[in-house]
Chains A and B, each alone.
Chain A
Amino acid sequence: MDKLIIKIADDYTTIPGVREEIEGDFPGEEFLEKILLPKFKQALSEKKKLLIDLDGTAGYATSFLEAAFGGLAREYNDSKIVLANLEFKSDEDPFLEDDIAEYIKEANDK
């Protein structure tokens, strides 16, 4: 099965910010809106998985990851569809994948 790929360090920035633009540059909300959501929609329509390559950046703030991936789950109001169609590559930070999965699962908690 073919995959679409987003490499954050190449496609967005090597120094991701936090949640919102008001807090600083390269926020998670902007990444969601400009890159992640359009690509995810494309992946769903083409019945492909979307691979997120997390390596190559300085690191990630929790709020960036939550805004981006938790935000994606809130867009669809469904964590399962997001988890089922995303894959992650994170050789540099072994904890990232589990952290993101947790943010996606908890995104719609009331």
Chain B
Amino acid sequence: MKKLYSTPEYKKRNTKRAKDRLKQQLLSKEKAKAKRRATDGVPIAVQRERRVISKFESLPAPPNFSFVENTVAVLAYLERIQDKIKQRIPILINLKDITNLTNDAIVLLLAIVKNPTITNGVPIKGNYPRDEELRKIFQESGVFGANGNDGEHKNYILTRQNKKAEGGIANELIKRATLIVFGQEARCPGVYRALMESMANTCYHAKPAQIGHETWWLTVYHERALNKVSFAFIDMGVGIFKSSKMSGFRNQLSTFFGITDNRDVLKEIINGRKMSSTKIPYRGKGLPNIYKGLERNYYSNLKIISNDVKADLSADKFEKLSKEFSGTFLYWELNNTNRWTS
């Protein structure tokens, strides 16, 4: 034994091993030091939160997080979220660096993260924007926390969800919106009509085979600086143009008028040419009447996004999207130039 320890081969190997161990020990020590430094003064709860978040894949949101302004980028972001969900990877919706946020993007996120059939049990977390104003809006929306239905103390944003057309919800939101915009609780028959029709469309057009199964989401946001209230309504069904009951109407448009582009199909719908996607002649007046509400000055800045079409009806602009949105999105604004009744 003595002979073995004194051999040059042993001594060389032992020296190398000792060196490696020392190097490893120093490295571990350095790592522990760095870790201590990073958490020095950080509350335990925050440290715990950081540990949890580190297990999630961070997906940074587009800086201009607005569905109406930056539609394709937001759709691409949603696609990434859905891809990760398919791969069952926990996601962190990273909103830290966003510079613009509108309630339409919030309603879109709500419709996804609060929908168990979409999230499929995959954990989803999110952080809040660094920007103080945007952070406040987001916290009040309830996307990452409790549901926003306890809207009593919310200053900026109200969120509602349901599967049916609820006149009580529409009425309550209109009262709050008018109090802000007109300085008194008032009635807006046109806004009520648009809300009720949007909700009813969800019942039938979202997934025609399952009446009343699809959930709609609605956010109402008060933009103080401009004294306007915006309504953003969404359902994550199949969209206007992919509704199975729509196929007959589209075939007719294609056969008789050569219309195949969904932008033109939407123009036909809002102009009332379409009879109904439900194939009963007297139905299908919902979207044309929502458009009429704009013409009658019940609200302003009406926009529709569905499947591959984005329509700014106030500006008569119809855009073909390079990314598909599977669902229907409606947006309009109420300001003090719009029609109302006390």
Q: Contact at B193–A18, with CB atoms within 8 Å?
A: no
Contact digits for A77-110, partner B, Cβ 8 Å, 1 yes 0 no: 0000000000000001101100100010011011
Contacts of A96 in B (CB 8 A): 189
Which of chain A's residues have a CB closer than 8 A to the CB of B174? 58-59
Complex CA–CA separation, A102 to B188 (angstroms): 22
- A17-B196, A107-B282 known; A59 and B189 CB under 8 Å? yes
Contacting chain B: which of A33-41, A45-53, A62-70? A62-70
Q: Which of B171, B187, B191, B193 contacts A62 (CB 8 A)?
A: B193
Do B196 and A61 touch (CB < 8 A)? yes
B282 contacts A60, C-beta separation under 8 Å: no
Kindly list chain B residues whose C-beta atoms are within 8 Å of the C-beta of A66.
282-283, 285
Q: How many residues of B contact A (CB 8 A)?
A: 32
Bound-state Cα–Cα, A63 to B166, Å: 14
How many angstroms between the C-alpha atoms of A62 and B166 in the bound complex?
A: 14
What is the number of contacts between chain A and chain B, taking CB atoms within 8 Å?
Answer: 102
Residues of A within 8 A of B281 (CB): 106, 109-110
Query: Does B196 lie within 8 Å of A18, measured CB to CB?
Result: yes
Q: Does B167 reach chain A (CB closer than 8 Å)?
A: yes
Central interface residue in B281, B285, B289, by most chain A CB within 10 Å:
B285
The docked-state distance in angstroms from the alpha carbon of A14 to that of B172 is 12
Residues of chain A lying within 8 A (CB to CB) of residue B212: 22-23
Quick one: which of A13, A18, A106, A109 contacts B199, CB cutoff 8 A?
A18
Q: Which residues of B contact A26 (CB under 8 A)?
A: 167
C-alpha spacing A66/B53, complex, angstroms: 52
CB distance from B308 to the nearest CB of A (A): 26
Contact across chains for A109 and B190 when beta carbons are under 8 A apart: no
What secondary structure prevails in chain B residues at the interface with A? helix
CA–CA, A26 to B193, complex, Å?
Answer: 14
- Chain B residues contacting A6 (CB-CB under 8 Å) are none
Q: Are B189 and A23 in contact (CB under 8 A)?
A: no
CB distance from B178 to the nearest CB of A (A): 11
Report yes or no: B187 in contact with A59, Cβ–Cβ below 8 A: yes
The verdict on A25 contacting chain B, using a C-beta distance below 8 Å, is yes
Q: Does A5 contact B (CB under 8 A)?
A: no
Write the B206-232 contact mask toward A (1 if CB under 8 angstroms, else 0): 000001100000000000000000000
B285 near A63: Cβ-Cβ < 8 Å: yes
Query: With A15-B171, A19-B200 given, is the CB distance from A93 to B166 under 8 Å?
Result: no
B289 cross-chain contacts in A, Cβ below 8 A: 62, 99
A63 CB, min distance to chain B CBs, angstroms = 6
CB-defined interface of B182-195 with A at 8 Å, one 1/0 digit per residue? 00000111111100
Q: Establish whether residues A58 and B171, one from each chain, have CB atoms under 8 Å apart when the complex forms.
A: yes
Which of B167, B282, B341 sits near A109, CB closer than 8 Å? B282
Neighbour of A93 across the interface among B168, B171, B204, B341, CB < 8 A: B341
* C-alpha spacing A92/B164, complex, angstroms: 26
**Chain B residues, Cβ within 8 Å of A59:** 170, 174, 187-193, 196
- Rounded to whole Å, the gap between the CB of A106 and the closest CB of chain B is 6
Query: Given A15-B170, A18-B196, A92 and B189 touching (CB < 8 A)?
Result: yes
> By the criterion CB–CB under 8 Å, are A17 and B165 in contact?
yes
Question: Which residues of B have CB within 8 Å of A61?
Answer: 165, 192-193, 196-197, 200
Question: 3 closest Cβ contacts across the A-B interface?
Answer: A59-B192, A15-B167, A24-B165
